[in-house]
C-alpha cells in the first residue's frame, strides 16, 4: 500500500518512478559493495 502511495506521489509531481528505482538500486548496490549487511 505504501508503494502505491509513493508511486502516486511521484506521478503527481511528474517525476519518473523508473529513475527513482534506478537511483535506489544503485545506492543499495554501492552500500552493499562497501560492506552494508542486513
Spatial separation of the C-alpha atoms in residues 30 and 36, rounded to whole Å:
9
pLDDT at res. 37: 87
pTM for this predicted structure:
0.56
Is residue 23 domain-resident?
yes
Contacts of 28 (CB under 8 A, 6+ apart): 36
Report CA 25 to chain centroid distance, whole Å: 6
Q: Which domain holds residue 19?
A: 2-33
Which pLDDT does position 3 carry in this prediction?
A: 86
pLDDT in tens, 3-38: 899 889 988 999 888 888 899 999 999 999 999 988
Number of domains in the chain: 1
pLDDT of residue 12: 94
Q: ∠28-19-17 over CA atoms, to 5°?
A: 105
Domain assignment present for 38: no
The CA-based angle 29-26-9, given to 5 degrees, is 130
pLDDT (0 to 100) of residue 21: 87
Amino acid at each position: 500500500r505504501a508503494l502505491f502511495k509513493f508511486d502516486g506521489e511521484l506521478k503527481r509531481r511528474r517525476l519518473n518512478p523508473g529513475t527513482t528505482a534506478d537511483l535506489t538500486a544503485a545506492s543499495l548496490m554501492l552500500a552493499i559493495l562497501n560492506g552494508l549487511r542486513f
